[in-house]
Amino acid sequence: MKISKYIPAFLKPDSEGPWDVIGRLIREGWRKYWPGYAVAIFFMIIVAATAGLTVLIIRDVVDEIFIDKNLSELTFLVMAVVVISVVRGVSLYVVAVALERTGNRVIADMQTRLYEHVLKLGITYFDKTHSSLLITGISNRSGAAKSVISTVLTNYVKNLLTVIVLLGVMIATHPWLTFIVVVIGPAALIGVRILVKRIRSFARAEFAGMAQIIARMQETALGIRVVKAFNLEPAMTSKMGEAIEGVRRRRNKIATIKAQTSPLMETLGGFAIAGVILWAGYAAIYHGEKPGDFMAFITAIMLAYEPAKKLANTRVALERNVIGVRFVYEIIDTPVKINPNLDGPELEITEGHIRFENVDFGYRSKKPVLKQFDFEAEPGKLTALVGPSGSGKSTIMNLIERFYDVSGGQVIIDGQDISKVRIASLRDQIAMVGQHTSIFQDTIRENIRYGRPSATDEEVEEAARNAMAYDFITDTSDGFDTMLEEGSSSLSGGQLQRIAIARAMIRDAPIVLLDEATSSLDSESEYQVRVAFERLMSGRTTIVIAHRLSTVLGADTICVLVEGEVVENGTHDELLAADKTYARLYHLQFEQPASQAVEDEEPAVASVG
Ligand code: ADP
């Protein structure tokens, strides 16, 4: 699988700077988060002020104590130092806690927003988006918003203010000396800017690499049986190794470039200090200037150095996280293509009559799957769809569920165009059992209850009984409370299917859509699943993608599809007598090696889809 085609557009070269993202974070968040950030900012101001006070105290310490030997000043200054450090310490604590707590709320909100939006997106989005991107989105990328805000506030408030306060003190003491510092500062900024550009491309590549690692891990977990059966371990290890190695190399690059800002700043900082010592020493030696001011100035430079360095580094620190936030925004901004008609009328089911009228439909590729397609499922009857793989059977199901919208014509249920009714009211009337049973990480009881969350425990058990699932469920270690997980291997294929049928039964919907599994079951399971299916279908409008002989034999109508067209319609006997497509598909299955027919007891029919 090639991951690169899933990489969002913004990761391709030349995206904008961080300001659009920061601006949006502020616009969307300030109303909600301002109290927390206001507290942080207030205490950041105090932190900056304490830096200025420290410098002034140093001046007084040197002048009053070491030069003038003033004892009362000593006591006062010592007290002042103690108070300032306590205030500074407490303020730093409050800043850190306020930033973290508010930031964690930002993350939680971002994750909720992302998840809610992902749930709204149509199936088309999931068709083209690798799930590893969604996983990175909700796991580490959501955290990027917190880091961006913290970085911006810490640097542009705390560090900037500290630098400004210290510069103020410097100007107050030695305006001319300050000049040296001010000249060197911008030189450093230019250097850092060049480094930022280089980091950006590596940060993008690193992100793509991480998504790839997650995708590979996912594939491995989901396909572990194939991996082992085909002895793919070495091949998978080497593919994973490439991805891991790629990310490692990029991270090293980023680290190297990031670290380059340090020597740059150190060297320039050293130049500044050397210049100041030269100048101030000269002034002290030849003009008898008091050392207090000089010491204060040096202290101010020393204190300003760290925040100034961080300030210059802001862009570097932001780079990676801005990409993360932009990625989350890209998902959140993906338009919802299927209109849920939240204020639309409810679908009213009178008898459960489904009709396709002149339906045109194609998936993303230009090739249409259905053209001027007409189809009908009669109320309360069983309609079986058969036809070769790719003929459009699942597409019909997808359109009834409105997983996709038709591009022409209408899908009509009891006289109502399904694209006009509230989508939830449509889906409420449908119970679907797909080929692959979706198991959620929950107990068996809850897995059944997903069919109708308001169902009582008794109703769940009743559904399990009707779906022939009760006995095996009560035989499991914790009965209905047994935990299931994705890829749950503690249950057999037939058992999982019966759980899916129970889930559909509890929904008690007038329309049932079934895709019979192709995997063959042992005859006991086969029998139980068949009974369960029959109970589920009875009295309901049912459309089934048929794989079992019993299903086609029992169907009121069999629709034979070939390349998106209904080529034949009728009962099993009629179609067999007509001796056309259906008869051919049917014989193809039955004239297979006799051994298989004996083994399966109920050989699968026609639709090998
Ligand atoms: P069947 O269920 O009869 O096997 P489908 O309805 O799944 O057939 O598929 C009909 C056609 O639509 C096929 O050509 C298939 O490749 C295409 N198709 C099905 N699902 C998708 C999808 N999610 N994206 C793009 N093309 C699809």
Lowest mean pLDDT among 282-291, 429-438, 454-463, 594-603: 594-603
Which residues make Cβ contacts (< 8 Å) with residue 128, sequence separation at least 6? 6, 364
Domain residue limits, the chain: 6-332, 354-592+604-608
Phi, psi dihedrals of residue 116, rounded to the nearest 5°:
-60, -40
User: 3-state DSSP call for residue 232?
Assistant: coil
Domain 6-332 matching CATH 1.20.1560.10: the answer reads yes
Q: Does pLDDT of 587 surpass 90?
A: no
Compute the distance from residue 608 Cα to the ligand 1 centre, in Å. Answer: 14
- The whole-number pLDDT of residue 520 equals 62
The answer, yes or no, to whether any atom of ligand 1 lies below 6 A from the CB of 547, is no
Packing angle of the helix pair 291-333, 160-173 (nearest 10 deg): 160
- The whole-number pLDDT of residue 272 equals 76
The answer, yes or no, to whether any atom of ligand 1 lies below 6 A from the CB of 394, is yes
Q: Are 541 and 379 in contact (CB under 8 A)?
A: yes
For atom 6 of ligand 1, which residue has the closest CA? 392
- The whole-number pLDDT of residue 487 equals 61
- List, edge to edge, every strand of the sheet that includes 565-570: 430-433, 511-515, 541-545, 382-386, 557-562, 565-570
Q: Are 561 and 387 in contact (CB under 8 A)?
A: yes
- The whole-number pLDDT of residue 311 equals 84
312 residue type, one letter = A
Question: How confident is residue 16, by pLDDT bands cut at 50, 70 and 90?
Answer: low
More confident residue, 319 or 240: 240
Ligand 1 pocket check: which of 128, 129, 389, 395 to mutate, most ligand atoms within 8 Å of Cβ?
395
- The whole-number pLDDT of residue 463 equals 94
- From the list 217, 199, 219, the residue with the least C-alpha distance to 207 is 199
Compute the distance from residue 562 Cα to the ligand 1 centre, in Å. Answer: 12
Question: How confident is residue 148, by pLDDT bands cut at 50, 70 and 90?
Answer: very high
Report the range out of 1-5, 195-199, 227-231, 318-322 with the highest average pLDDT. 227-231
Q: Which helix (H) or strand (E) holds 558?
A: strand 557-562
pLDDT digits (tens, 9 = 90+) for 432-452: 998 887 888 889 999 999 999
The answer, yes or no, to whether any atom of ligand 1 lies below 6 A from the CB of 389, is yes
Percent pLDDT > 70 in the chain is: 91
Question: How confident is residue 489, by pLDDT bands cut at 50, 70 and 90?
Answer: low
- The whole-number pLDDT of residue 603 equals 42
**Alpha carbons 499 and 468: distance in angstroms, whole number:** 9
Q: Does pLDDT of 177 surpass 90?
A: no
- The whole-number pLDDT of residue 413 equals 97
The answer, yes or no, to whether any atom of ligand 1 lies below 6 A from the CB of 390, is yes
Q: Are 341 and 422 in contact (CB under 8 A)?
A: yes
Both tokens assigned to 502: 């129970």
For residues 519-534, average pLDDT: 78
| DSSP 8-state symbol, 511 | E
The answer, yes or no, to whether any atom of ligand 1 lies below 6 A from the CB of 563, is no
> If you average pLDDT over every residue of the chain, what do you get?
85
**Alpha carbons 32 and 9: distance in angstroms, whole number:** 30
Q: How many CB atoms lie within 10 A of CB 578?
A: 13
- The whole-number pLDDT of residue 356 equals 96
User: 3-state DSSP call for residue 370?
Assistant: strand
Q: Does pLDDT of 7 surpass 70?
A: no
- The whole-number pLDDT of residue 566 equals 92
Q: Does pLDDT of 179 surpass 80?
A: no
Both tokens assigned to 384: 């079986």
Could you tell me which residues are beta bridge partners of residue 543?
A: 383, 513
More confident residue, 432 or 194: 432
For residues 369-380, average pLDDT: 93
Compute the distance from residue 13 Cα to the ligand 1 centre, in Å. Answer: 34
For residues 28-40, average pLDDT: 92
253 residue type, one letter = K
Lowest mean pLDDT among 224-228, 269-273, 363-367, 519-523: 519-523
Architecture per CATH, domain 354-592+604-608, reads as 3-Layer(aba) Sandwich (3.40)
More confident residue, 251 or 291: 251
The answer, yes or no, to whether any atom of ligand 1 lies below 6 A from the CB of 395, is yes
- The whole-number pLDDT of residue 607 equals 46
- The whole-number pLDDT of residue 58 equals 87
Q: Does pLDDT of 273 surpass 90?
A: no
Compute the distance from residue 390 Cα to the ligand 1 centre, in Å. Answer: 5
Q: Does pLDDT of 113 surpass 90?
A: yes
Q: Are 281 and 303 in contact (CB under 8 A)?
A: no
Beta strands 541-545 and 382-386, pairing class: parallel
- The whole-number pLDDT of residue 202 equals 80
For atom 27 of ligand 1, which residue has the closest CA? 363
For residues 5-33, average pLDDT: 71
- The whole-number pLDDT of residue 264 equals 75
**Alpha carbons 254 and 499: distance in angstroms, whole number:** 50
Question: How confident is residue 595, by pLDDT bands cut at 50, 70 and 90?
Answer: very low
- The whole-number pLDDT of residue 378 equals 94
Q: Does pLDDT of 6 surpass 60?
A: no
More confident residue, 531 or 39: 39
Lowest mean pLDDT among 198-207, 360-369, 462-471, 500-509: 198-207
For residues 179-194, average pLDDT: 72
